[in-house]
Structure 1
């Protein structure tokens, strides 16, 4: 318990002690959104987003504008405003004014490394918020600016927004961004994912070229986007990349991405590389197969392949992955 009853109630909510659907709980959440502590506001907004409580959208909007006044004092780190906008996106509120404000908002704060823009993530989230409520061209124009933003959190949000848009008109912008590159591999990966959603036919051929990148992280993020897409032809692309790459960590990641496909051919391939001649690769395959979940007799077939190697080390990996 603390001296702050609002904080105590939020803690109770987080522990599952009280449902958020009651009138009393929503009264507490409203009070939390008006709290002087932006961390309390952040917690309340996170809970509203998770529970998708649409009845509190007006209170979220009010709290956003309150935190915009003297933001360095009221909302250091932009924690409250970012959580609020995420909640508005989650409950699908078409508050264009908030999204339009946040998509260009900056909040420069002192940091031990110099200065940071605490609103970097907020801009990206606002781009995602506009996807379902603004014309596609407006979203594209905003994302063109955000993809060249100084801060990776903003660029990441812009790529996610283009993926959510899922329209062919986004493809040229994403191709340009992928060709010019990004110093954050995660942004590259999100751009790959977005392109595979926007242009399923020609995007696959374009994205697979990055599997040959000299940068291991770029290769892995590309493979992850391909694995999550589950597009026809992806298995052959990932298997061939696995055969060409020599780096052990990259090969492990490629097998995991093959596991994400959850197809018969991917499962058969992974089972085939469980071999006593290469226990490390076999262990990677066992982990990748686990991504398929309890599908049919897959667990039994995996266990049989492991037993055939007569490797105690591999058996331990199987038990850790499949039996825990």
Structure 2
């Protein structure tokens, strides 16, 4: 059979396995994981995860290094390595060496005007997976994760911050505090740092996070959202006072969205009060509507500000 037809037939057979039972899929997936085609192997790894075939973890781990050699040719776009790493992470595979290799892997591939590193998602997946490896203590985890905070890819830096948060130690919180204090990165990374510190330290860290609100910029909006995710009365108090002081219209709207996301009744009452006073009515209404309001809140909202689309 010509190569193209053979490939199409194999791909079709794999797609059919999505509807099969795990027992039916196991033999075919076991064989496909030995294939040299990275796309077919990626499909097989994804199906192994779909069927929760943990028995295939050794096969997946064995296939992984095959796509590291001459990687741009053997595994363009990191399709195979990404799918394998995701499946192994899903299975809570415990060998850290595979994840460490993935975290360090760079794969420049030619694009118009130069090269592009296609291994960023792989580094992110492996960083988050490494945290679940029980053979590595928290100190060594942080040693492995810290370099990714300086990765060229934003998504890798963000996921490194999330992985550091998941280590769950006092050192993790201090490291995230330090990274946030440097404030020399994208708002998305800074937001991950704010959220990580608040998750680890709880409401006691709200005053620290509130220090990043005055600039009224994108990073300040990330801080507001991180504070909101504590779902505490303290968060409401800080966000209300921030909204009252804010001068930038965009940032005032952002603080209203954050208030709604606290899921606190006092925040809901504040937003309804703004509507009642005809102050930022449209923004307050939008914030409430995007926060999955209760039937009672919807009823009060309808009385104060009927939907203009009705």
TM-score category, normalised to shorter length: 0.7 to 0.9
Match of 2:156 in 1: 154
Spell out, residue by residue over 1:106-152, the C-alpha distance to the aligned partner (whole angstroms, 9 max, x if none): 22222335322222232232221121222100111122221122222
Match of 1:242 in 2: 243
Gaps of 5+ in 1: 308-313, 320-324
SS of the counterpart of 2:116? strand
* Within-5 A mapping of 1:211-250: 211-213=213-215, 216-250=217-251
Judged with a 3 Å threshold, the aligned counterparts in structure 2 of structure 1 residues 62 and 213 are, in CA distance, closer, same or farther, namely farther
In the TM superposition, residue 12 of structure 1 has moved relative to its aligned partner by 5.1
Residues 166, 197 of structure 1: 8 Å contact kept: no
In the TM superposition, residue 248 of structure 1 has moved relative to its aligned partner by 3.1
Q: Aligned partners of 1:229 and 1:9: how far apart in 2?
A: 48
In the TM superposition, residue 47 of structure 1 has moved relative to its aligned partner by 4.6
In the TM superposition, residue 32 of structure 1 has moved relative to its aligned partner by 4.9
Match of 1:197 among 196, 199, 206: 199
Match of 2:77 in 1: 77
Question: Aligned pair count?
Answer: 303
Judged with a 3 Å threshold, the aligned counterparts in structure 2 of structure 1 residues 186 and 33 are, in CA distance, closer, same or farther, namely farther
SS of the counterpart of 1:277? coil
Residues 103, 122 of structure 1: 8 Å contact kept: yes
Q: Aligned partners of 1:221 and 1:50: how far apart in 2?
A: 34
Match of 1:311 in 2: none
Match of 2:209 in 1: 207
Residues 7, 40 of structure 1: 8 Å contact kept: yes
Spell out, residue by residue over 1:193-218, the C-alpha distance to the aligned partner (whole angstroms, 9 max, x if none): 1111222254322222111235x221
Gaps of 5+ in 2: none
Residues 260, 291 of structure 2: 8 Å contact kept: yes
Judged with a 3 Å threshold, the aligned counterparts in structure 2 of structure 1 residues 296 and 55 are, in CA distance, closer, same or farther, namely farther
Q: Which moved more, 1:104-113 or 1:161-170?
A: 104-113
Judged with a 3 Å threshold, the aligned counterparts in structure 2 of structure 1 residues 119 and 305 are, in CA distance, closer, same or farther, namely same
Q: Aligned partners of 2:254 and 2:28: how far apart in 1?
A: 45
Spell out, residue by residue over 1:61-94, the C-alpha distance to the aligned partner (whole angstroms, 9 max, x if none): 1232221122111211223212321222222111
In the TM superposition, residue 170 of structure 1 has moved relative to its aligned partner by 0.9
